[in-house]
């Protein structure tokens, strides 16, 4: 079978027949790290994730978590692991099926057409997806409202420094706090970070969403369970990231990854935004959905 993704998709489509649709690198409206292939037909949906040699465990866990939360609950998640990749067994236990790398695409074709069901607790998955949807909707609402206003910006690093100076408790990082390899501050259990004006902003956003997914959720047999200390976080920007043909995707994908995208409008304004994101009324909605 062809090894390029385009060739694999074409071959799978031909062998599965007209009853199925095969899409390579599907552009999901909320995901920046989605499955590599999506196969649907006859009331079945299979997401295929390729696990590469040097793929970090945390990134793989984030991809599984994001797929489970974003795709329909009946979706089967299948892994194709490179022969030279070393992945802990407890991580692989979060997939519904793992293909033998020597017969990977034959396994994909057979599994996609089968009546196999997801291995995890479907009821628990539906409940956790519902709770995440409440959280996502609230984060997106806050970010969208702020995006409608013309706000003067302050350098994100200045905002974070000022927040740290006003709130001395920020100096004592909790053991359970989200850890990032970039400047950040902690306010009331939320993290304040930023997207650098230099570099690729959407790649930075992808990395931050991956970190948030693995911090906020614990996987158990493929089911993402929210951790008790998982809060909405604030992601400061000076200019809105742009995705061609889908200008709202940065807002959506950030909110889905538990980040509120916000213009870096000053420490006082950002502190007020954190207060709003911690509103008990809205927190109860997603915690008790």
* 96 or 164, higher pLDDT: 96
Look at residue 259 and tell me whether its pLDDT is greater than 60: yes
Higher model confidence: residue 282 or residue 203? 203
Q: What is the pLDDT of residue 186?
A: 84
Q: What's the average model confidence in pLDDT over 107-122?
A: 94
DSSP state of 120: S
In the chain, what are the domains?
Answer: 5-113 (3.40.1350), 122-287 (no CATH)
Cβ–Cβ under 8 Å, residues 189 and 169: no
Higher pLDDT, 141 or 4: 141
Task: Compute the average pLDDT of residues 261-283.
Answer: 85
Q: Print the SS3 string covering 59-115.
A: HHHHHHHHHHHHCCCCCEEEEEECCCCCCCHHHHCCCCEEECHHHHHHHHHHHHHCC
> What pLDDT score does 1 carry?
40
Which band of pLDDT confidence, cut at 50, 70 and 90, is reported for residue 289?
Answer: very low
């Amino acid at each position: 079978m062809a090894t390029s993704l385009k060739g694999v998709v074409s071959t799978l489509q031909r062998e599965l027949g007209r009853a199925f649709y095969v899409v390579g690198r599907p552009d999901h409206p909320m995901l920046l790290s989605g499955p590599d292939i999506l196969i649907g037909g006859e009331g079945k949906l299979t997401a295929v994730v390729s696990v590469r040699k040097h793929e970090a465990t945390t990134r793989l866990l984030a991809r599984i978590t994001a797929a489970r939360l974003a795709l329909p609950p009946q979706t089967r998640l299948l892994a194709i692991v490179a022969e030279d990749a070393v992945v802990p067994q407890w991580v692989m236990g979060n997939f519904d099926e793992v293909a033998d790398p020597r017969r990977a695409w034959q396994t994909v074709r057979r599994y996609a057409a089968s009546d196999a069901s997801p291995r995890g607790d479907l009821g628990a998955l539906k409940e956790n997806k519902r709770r995440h949807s409440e959280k996502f909707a609230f984060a997106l609402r806050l970010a969208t409202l702020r995006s409608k206003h013309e706000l003067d910006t302050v350098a994100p690093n200045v905002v974070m420094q000022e927040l740290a100076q006003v709130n001395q408790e920020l100096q004592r990082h909790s053991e359970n706090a989200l850890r990032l390899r970039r400047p950040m501050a902690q306010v009331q259990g939320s993290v304040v970070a930023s997207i650098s004006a230099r570099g690729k902003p959407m790649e930075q956003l992808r990395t931050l969403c991956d970190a948030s997914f693995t911090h906020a959720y614990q996987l158990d047999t493929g089911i993402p369970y929210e951790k008790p200390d998982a809060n909405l976080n604030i992601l400061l920007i000076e200019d809105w990231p742009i995705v061609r043909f889908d200008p709202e995707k940065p807002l959506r994908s950030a909110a889905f990854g538990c980040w509120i995208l916000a213009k870096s409008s000053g420490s006082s304004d950002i502190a007020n935004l954190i207060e709003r994101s911690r509103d008990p009324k809205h927190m109860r909605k997603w915690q008790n959905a």
